[in-house]
Amino acid sequence: MTETSIRRPFIAGNWKMYKTAAQAAEYVSGLRSMLPADPKVDVALAPAFPALEAAVRAAAGSPIAIAAQNVFWETEGAFTGEVSAPMLNDLGVELVIIGHSERRQYFGETDQTVNRRLKTAVSNGLRPIVCIGETLEQREAGLTFSVLETQLKDGLAGLDHETAEKLVLAYEPVWAIGTGRTATPEIAQEAHRFIRHKLIELFDKRLANHIRLLYGGSVKPENTADLLAQPDLDGALVGGASLKVDVFYKIVDIGCQVTA
């Protein structure tokens, strides 16, 4: 994944609990044959743990980076069911999604555990994609900004500037995930602008302008261009629409055109 340019657009696919190792390898091979050698956006895919190795192998030497969907904060020990950062390093995984709303909703993830996972990821050379976002009830109660502020303050607590440099944030309103109900570009931009301002308070302007903010929530080819045209949207975290290679490729291709 390119490290050179600041806020280079970034399109990542989150496969959630879909695809075996063989299916992952087939998909990645297909995508790499469609992509130009040097796409104008960074591209990543997040398979489930058992498919990571096959995906890394199939992506080797291509512009596709492979992400895990979670990482534990200890490096080894009696933690049944968990996967550590050194284990992901060993597979050649480059990135990791942390704090996805499904982890928060179904598996008790909190801003505090997000913070621990985040620090471990970065200290082990994994680039974190930290997810934040409000639920429908919170939005309807007018709590969106205070929820985002808490998630940022607590999730990123104690992060030094060097660690924050590595950060990618994904704003994923929970009401838009897997529902087909995408945030309008204006709603997404409003939240992204708020997040960027909070990053100035938490770090400084330079870092706030450097950290990429992805939007996630029912992104599909039909809405990608309008979303990515917003000034504070630097890419997308795509769930359902990343499961079919031709659909995900279309989103990446639109990202390249918006960038061109």
In the bound state with ligand PEP, the residue whose beta carbon lies nearer, of 203 and 215, is 215
255 lies in the binding site for ligand PEP (CB under 6 A): no
Q: x/- contact string, 120-159, with ligand PEP (CB under 6 A)?
A: ----------------------------------------
In the bound state with ligand PEP, the residue whose beta carbon lies nearer, of 63 and 99, is 99
Candidate list 85, 177, 227, 254; residue touching ligand PEP; CB under 6 A: 177
Q: Tell me if residue 172 is catalytic.
A: yes
In the bound state with ligand PEP, the residue whose beta carbon lies nearer, of 203 and 235, is 235
Catalytic choice (53, 94, 100, 134): 100
Q: Tell me if residue 100 is catalytic.
A: yes
- CB 241 to ligand PEP: min, Å: 6
- DSSP structure string for the chain: ---SSTT--EEEEE-TT---HHHHHHHHHHHHHHS-SS-SSEEEEE--GGGHHHHHHHHTTSSEEEEES--BSSSSSS-TT--BHHHHHHHT--EEEES-HHHHHHH---HHHHHHHHHHHHHTTPEEEEEE---HHHHHTT-HHHHHHHHHHHHTTT--HHHHHT-EEEE--GGGTTSS-PPPHHHHHHHHHHHHHHHHHHS-HHHHHHSEEEEESS--HHHHHHHHTSTT--EEEESGGGSSHHHHHHHHHHHHHHH-
Stretch touching ligand PEP by CB under 6 A, among 118-126, 185-193, 201-209, 216-224: 216-224
Q: Kindly state the number of chain residues that form the binding site for ligand PEP, as judged by CB under 6 A.
A: 14
Catalytic choice (102, 109, 134, 172): 172
99 lies in the binding site for ligand PEP (CB under 6 A): no
Q: Which of the residues are catalytic?
A: 100, 172
- Residues lying near ligand PEP in the complex (CB under 6 A) are found at 14, 16, 172, 177-178, 216-219, 237-241
